A and B are shown apart, each in its own frame.
Chain A
Amino acid sequence: MADVLVVAEVAEGKLKKTTHSAVTFAQKAAATIGGSFSILVIGDGAGKAAAEAQGLGAAKLLVVEDASLKNYLAERYAPTVAAVAKGYAVVVGTASAYGKDLLPRVAARLGAGYASDITEVLADGGTLKYKRPMFAGNAFGICSISTPIQVVSVRQSAFAAAEPTGGQSAVETVAYAGPSKAAERVEFVSFDQVKSARPELTEARVVVSGGRALKEKFNQVLDPLADVLGAAVGASRAACDAGYAPSDLQVGQTGKIVAPQLYFAIGISGAIQHLAGMKGSKVIVAINKDADAPIFQVADYGLVADLFATVPELVKGIQAAKG
């Protein structure tokens, strides 16, 4: 069989948008290997979430619900995902924290090869090759996987969210395969959610990111700008390490990868690890008081200025321009 299985991501009975990037991959990969794709929706409220996956062109929506799936643990999810995956040629999820945690475990269970964070799928005479960034985005490697089942995670910013194509997918309920032995020794304790009314970093049209320079004034300075732009807020590692911004906002090689229409780097020097997470943005604006900061090498518009004076001025300017 040459079919593709998408592992959906579910949170609180909703399908997470990350899923749609994996679906876009699946549409392309299935076309290359001449098969169909199905979506596995596993987790608390999976049935409800699966309804949101209707119309994306999947052959089947496979739904797994069980009380013990309430709080995600790889040790509980991997056996079921692997059991379902056995009928497929390619298993794909998105390289979110969830996908990066779960998919390698699934691959190991299947004895399958795993390629992470891929940005392109290439058709090479019916076989699949994958392009993936390495060395903090300073190189791309083209790889292939030799096992009968291949497991991959895709970079969300590199695969546009799948649009509805219409049609209904058949819904099948799949039994929960039970936890692995390892699950007996892991306990979910808590999830401290950073609540924000702003758009998700990885999905926002505009991202306003701040660096170490903002210090304790991180929110005070950036919030008005993010508000006027309807933007998501991001941060450099240094700003997260210092506690000026929650770690979940880190943009970079080892943080979130973003590619919005418009990206502001404010008081960020532009280390390669930061660039790795944002240089796919369409338009980049940098504000930095150091004219030689490396961020200016990738910025479309650079402004050498003190950010504390400039950002409030910019907020007023944008307000005026938007009328």
Chain B
Amino acid sequence: MKILVPLKRVADPDNANKVKIPASGEKIDTAGLEWKPNPFDEYALEAALRLTENGTQPKVRAGEVVVVTFGPKETETTLRAALATGADRAIRVDATDDKLDGDLVARALRALVEKEKPDVVLMGKQAVDGDSNQVGQILAELLDWPMATFAATIREEAGALLVGREVDGGVSTLRVKLPAVVTVDLRIVAPTSVYSLKTPQTHKYNDGVRFAALPAIMAAKKKPLAEVKLADLASDQATKVSYHGFAAPPARKAGIKVKDVGELVSKLKNEAKVL
């Protein structure tokens, strides 16, 4: 199985000094934030690795995992890390973050998919900087491929994937014939979430994503990393959604600490009047 994993580098919002916005509101100042791979894409990569191996012998690769990112030169660090974790090949599409939108990324990915011909495009359900949740769905439509969004479980079948999706009110299970687009949710990296045809159903993975061992980090330096021009994938580089300004959310003032249950109940009843 050949899997393409689009992987975005994001400014991690989970950070003490948080997101700052200058008074002019012209941008989001990410200077104080740490760059890291979008967590959902890391999960997608882990799922891709699980689908291309026998879980009991993860060193033997059975298939090909290609990672791709759209971003400036620095994002190659993220790609190298993905190669060290087990991806076979990487592609960087040279682009500037604020000149992209979901539609443009999806259009360029479509061209890349037509070239690479993967069986599955496996990706995060959303990038946690823009929180847009759209590239996978748009890509599936542009390719006229079936999709399974918000995947929490994946079972490989002959020529298909059985996908359990976290939706409102429960879990919806779909069978998508390949090629298909799958976007993953948080719980895709639980111990029994993903099984390739090779992995015995009794196998339990470690919870979470795997980490690269030092020799793998060294070896990753020799794995192929290609650079592609955005113009070669998308003739029209105009975006459809544009941003005009940013604002900080209204601050919520901290309240008080109550000493016991009695005081809490009395406050809720008499002060907040919510009981």
Residue contact B132 to A116, C-beta cutoff 8 Å = yes
Residue contact A318 to B265, C-beta cutoff 8 Å = yes
User: Quick check: is A115 within 8 A (CB to CB) of the other chain?
Assistant: yes
User: Quick check: is A21 within 8 A (CB to CB) of the other chain?
Assistant: no
Residue contact A194 to B169, C-beta cutoff 8 Å = yes
Q: Is the interface of B mostly helix, strand, loop or mixed?
A: mixed
Interface range for A = 35 or more
Flag the segment in B46-54, B84-92, B194-202, B238-246 that touches A.
Answer: B238-246
The CA of A97 and the CA of B40, in the complex, are separated in Å by 17
Give B66 Cβ to nearest chain A Cβ, in Å: 22
User: Quick check: is B14 within 8 A (CB to CB) of the other chain?
Assistant: yes
User: Quick check: is A220 within 8 A (CB to CB) of the other chain?
Assistant: no
The residues of B that contact A140 with a CB separation of less than 8 Å are 246-249
Interface range for B = 35 or more
Residue contact A137 to B249, C-beta cutoff 8 Å = yes
The B-contacting residues of A in range 117-154, CB under 8 angstroms, are 117, 129, 131-147
The residue from A104, A247, A297, A305 contacting B166, defined by CB atoms under 8 A apart: A247
- Whether A193 touches B103, Cβ cut-off 8 Å, given contacts A142-B245, A253-B128, is no
The residues of B that contact A240 with a CB separation of less than 8 Å are 186-187
User: Quick check: is A272 within 8 A (CB to CB) of the other chain?
Assistant: yes
Give B187 Cβ to nearest chain A Cβ, in Å: 6
The CA of A156 and the CA of B220, in the complex, are separated in Å by 45
The residues of A that contact B240 with a CB separation of less than 8 Å are 112-114, 145-147
The CA of A317 and the CA of B267, in the complex, are separated in Å by 12
Flag the segment in B75-83, B133-141, B209-217, B225-233 that touches A.
Answer: B133-141
Interface CB pairs A-B, < 8 A, 30: A74-B140, A74-B147, A97-B166, A97-B168, A101-B167, A108-B138, A113-B239, A114-B102, A129-B244, A134-B131, A135-B19, A135-B28, A135-B131, A138-B248, A139-B28, A142-B244, A142-B247, A143-B243, A143-B244, A144-B242, A144-B244, A180-B144, A186-B148, A189-B173, A240-B186, A246-B170, A301-B268, A303-B258, A318-B265, A320-B265
A sample of 14 more A-B contacts (CB under 8 A), given A113-B239, A302-B257, A320-B265, is A101-B167, A104-B133, A104-B138, A133-B131, A134-B130, A135-B19, A136-B128, A140-B246, A142-B247, A144-B242, A188-B172, A241-B187, A262-B272, A299-B255
